[in-house]
Structure 1
C-alpha cells in the first residue's frame, strides 16, 4: 500500500469512529534540494506535530508545550544526538540507493514512515513501517507475518538481510504491539487539552476557471468530509477531493472541486456539504458562491501552508541511527544502544 494511502486510511478511520488515534514518525533525507535541509525528522500524534529536527538547526525541539511533561528532562539533549546520528545514516542511505539505481546525481529522497494506531473504544491496535525512494514504495513491514516485503528489485538484498535477523523482527513486533501504543496513550493523556479540542471549519464556495471550489479551513481535528450533491444526490463523478493540508496555526484545510458546464450549474441544484465532528454539517449552495480574486488572497497563510507542507510532505520517513562499520553497501541498521524503532524516545 502506498504511504499516502496509509495516511488516507488513518484519516478516514478517525472521522468515522472518532476514537482511532495514531502516533507517526516521519524522516526524510534528500540530495541536491537547494535551500532546504538535507534531513528532516517529524513526530506527530493524531496529525498534530509534536517534535521536529532538521539538519540545519541540528536540534530536536518540541512543537507542543505539553510534550515536555511526557518526557524526562534529558530527552531533548539525548535524542538530539540520536537524530544527528540518524542524519548521517540517512545521508549514506541516499548514496547507497543511488548506487543501486545506477544514478550519479540529481534530486533524490529516501523516505520512511512508521508508527501505530489505536482505537480507544474497541482497543484494536496496529503498526506500520514503510520505506520509499523517490516517491515510490521501497520496503514495508508485514507485521502480521513478521517479515519485510520488497516492492522493487533494488531492495531485495535489504529485504533478505532484514528478514534473516529474527531478533530484530521480534523487537519490531514488541515495539509496534506494546511500546508504541504505550507512548501514544501517554501523549494522548498529556496532550488531551490540545488534541481534545474541536474547532469548527470555515467553509466557502467560489468559482475558479471551469471548476467550483468548496473549501474548508481552520478545523481541528483533521478528519473532515466534503461532499458535492446534485439535486440532493451525492456525486461521485466530476468531483476531485484534495488532501487534508496543515495550516500554520495547527488547524487544517481541505477542498473539493466540482467540474460541470455553466449550463448544468445553472439548471441543476448543486450543494456542498462539509461534515466535521465539531458541529452540524455546513451546507453551501449557489447563493454562497464567491468569485475568486487571487490579488485579494493574503500571502501570510499561503506561505505558512507551503512551509508546513514541505516539512511534512517531504518528511515521510524513518531511518537508522548509526552506521555499522566495515559493512558492505546496504541500508544501515540501528545501533543497539539507540534502537530507533524500539522506543519512540529515540525517534
Structure 2
C-alpha cells in the first residue's frame, strides 16, 4: 500500500532537571517510497531513519547503539515493519469516520514521556491528529481516550472498549519510555549539559524590510532575544521568531525590528542564554548589516542558505516549523456529555501544566507532505 510515516519530535524542556523523549509519526495515503523517522531527546534529534537505514545522529547515541545492538534492531522493526502496517490501518479507520473514499490524507501521532530527575516523577502522553487537526488524546490517568473532534467520538468509544490497547499504551508510557529516557540521558548527559554561544548577525532583505537579528549555533535551546532602545526593551515594531534546530544539534532564532527612521545608534539586539555568564549585545549599525539588495538591478536575491537552516524541509518534518503570526485557536467541538467535557478539561489542564507539545507542533506536517505529493 502507498503510504508514508514520519516519527518526529520535539519540543523544549522547561528546566534543567526535566528530560523528555518524544516520538512523532505521520503517515499519508497515496504517498510511496518516502519513510522518515526521528526520536528526540531533550529537544535534540537522537535517531533518524528513512527507507534505507537507521542513523544515530549524536555521538553518544552511536555509542549507545554500539553497546546495545538490540536497541538498534528495535528501531529497525518499528520503522520498517510495525509502523507501516498499523498507521495505514489507522488512516483507513479515520477515512471511514470522515466519510472519505480517496485523496491524500495525513495522520499524525505524538507519544513519549517526560521525567523530572529530582522528584522522579514521570508524565506520559499520546496524541493523534488527522489532516492537520487535533483528533484523539490518551488520558494516562483514566486510561481512556479524549475525542477532540466530533468524528472521533465513535473511535474513542471503540478504543475505550479495547482494554488490551489501553494496557499496552499504559505499559509503554509508564515503563518502556521512562526506561529508555533514563538510559539516553545517562549516555548523553555530558553533551546535553554543554553551553555553546551563538554567532549573531544583522540581516536585511531590502532597505525597507525589517532588520533581523539572527543568532545561530547556540545550545541549549533555553534562550531569549529582544531589541532595546536606550536600554529599554522594545515591545512594539518587534517580531520575535521561534527557536529552531540546526542539523548538527544546535539552535537558531531571530528577532525582527522595523527599520527606525532615525537614531539607529540607540538600538541594540540582546541575546541571553541560560547558563551563559554574559549577554551578547549587538549594536544596530548600518555598516554591519548583511543584505542581498542589489540596487543596480533593483532586484532581491535570496540570502545564502548557509545563513538559515540547511534543511528547511527536515526541520518542518520533525515538528519545529512554526508561524510568526500564530492563528487564533478555534474552540473545541462540543462533547457528547458532561463526563466527556470533564475528561477533556482535565486532560487539557495537565497538558497545559507540563512542557509537552500539543498537536499544534505537528500541524505543519500536513502542508509539507501535501506539497511533496503535489510534486510527484
Aligned with residue 44 of structure 2, among 45, 48, 55:
48
Aligned length: 299
Supply the distance in 1 between the matched residues of 2:158 and 2:265 (Cα, whole angstroms).
60
Please say which of residues 207-216 and 129-138 is displaced more in the overlay: 207-216
- Counterpart of 1:66 in structure 2 is 60
1:132-160 deviation line (CA, Å, top 9, x unaligned): 11221111122233321111112112211
Structure 1: give runs of 5+ residues left out of the alignment: 1-6, 316-347
CA contact (8 A) 1:52 1:63 kept: yes
SS of 1:111's equivalent? strand
Which stretch has the larger CA shift, 140-149 or 93-102? 93-102
TM normalised by structure 1 equals 0.74
Moved over 6 A (4+): none
Which residue number corresponds to residue 82 of structure 1? 78
Which whole-Å CA distance do the structure 2 matches of 1:68 and 1:210 have between them? 44
- Kindly tell me: are residues 26 and 249 of structure 1, through their superposed partners in 2, closer, same or farther at Cα, counting changes over 3 Å? same
Aligned residue number for residue 18 of structure 1: 16
Can you list the C-alpha shifts for 1:283-313, whole angstroms capped at 9, x where unaligned? Answer: 2232375042275844456572314314413
Cα offsets for 1:265-292 (capped at 9, x unmatched) = 6379333221113522112232375042
Q: What is the rounded CA distance, in whole Å, between the counterparts of 1:213 and 1:246 in structure 2?
A: 18
Q: Give distance in 1, aligned partners of 2:238 and 2:122.
A: 33
Q: Which has the higher contact order (CA 8 A, sep 6+)?
A: 1
Q: Who is 1:93 aligned against?
A: 90
CA contact (8 A) 2:264 2:284 kept: no
Instruction: Measure, in 2, the Cα distance between the counterparts of 1:262 and 1:301.
Output: 24
Query: SS at 2:158's partner residue?
Result: helix
Q: What CA distance in whole angstroms lies between the structure 2 residues aligned with 1:48 and 1:314?
A: 11
Instruction: Find the counterpart in structure 2 of residue 305 from structure 1.
Output: 311
5+ residue gaps, structure 2, are: 1-8, 293-299, 322-376
2:285 is aligned to 287
2:28 paired residue number: 30
Contact 1:44/1:50 (8 A) holds in 2: yes
More moved, 162-171 vs 271-280? 162-171
Cα deviations by residue, 1:136-192 (Å, 9 ceiling, x for unpaired) = 111112223332111111211221122223444344334333432222111011122
Aligned to 2:330: none
**1:115-264 map, 5 Å:** 115-208=112-205, 209-259=208-258, 262-263=260-261
**C-alpha distance in 2, partners of 1:228/1:123?**
39
Question: What is the distance in 2 between the residues matched to 1:231 and 1:257?
Answer: 17
Q: Is the 8 A contact 1:245 1:305 kept in 2?
A: no
- 2 CA distance for matches of 1:305 and 1:110? 23
Cα gap change, 1:122/1:68 in structure 2, threshold over 3 Å: closer, same or farther? same
Task: Find the aligned partners of 1:239 and 1:47 in 2 and give their Cα distance.
Answer: 26
TM score, norm. by length of structure 2: 0.69
C-alpha distance after superposition, 1:181-208 (max 9, x if no partner):
2221110111223323221111122334
Structure 1 residue 220, shift from structure 2 partner: 1.7
**Cα distance in 2, alignment partners of residues 228 and 177 from structure 1:** 43
Conservation of the 8 A alpha-carbon contact between 1:248 and 1:301: no
Name the CA shift for 1:229/1:33 in 2 (closer, same or farther; >3 Å): farther
Residues 174 and 98 (structure 1), Cα distance of their counterparts in 2 relative to 1, 3 Å cut: closer
* Partner of residue 362, structure 2: none
For 1:48 and 1:139, locate their aligned partners in 2 and report how far apart those are by CA, in whole Å. 26
What is the CA deviation profile of residues 95-145 of structure 1, one whole-angstrom value per residue up to 9, with x for unaligned ones? 433343334444431101111112223444322211111221111122233
Name the CA shift for 1:229/1:104 in 2 (closer, same or farther; >3 Å).
farther
The whole-number CA distance in structure 1 between the counterparts of 2:241 and 2:27 is 26
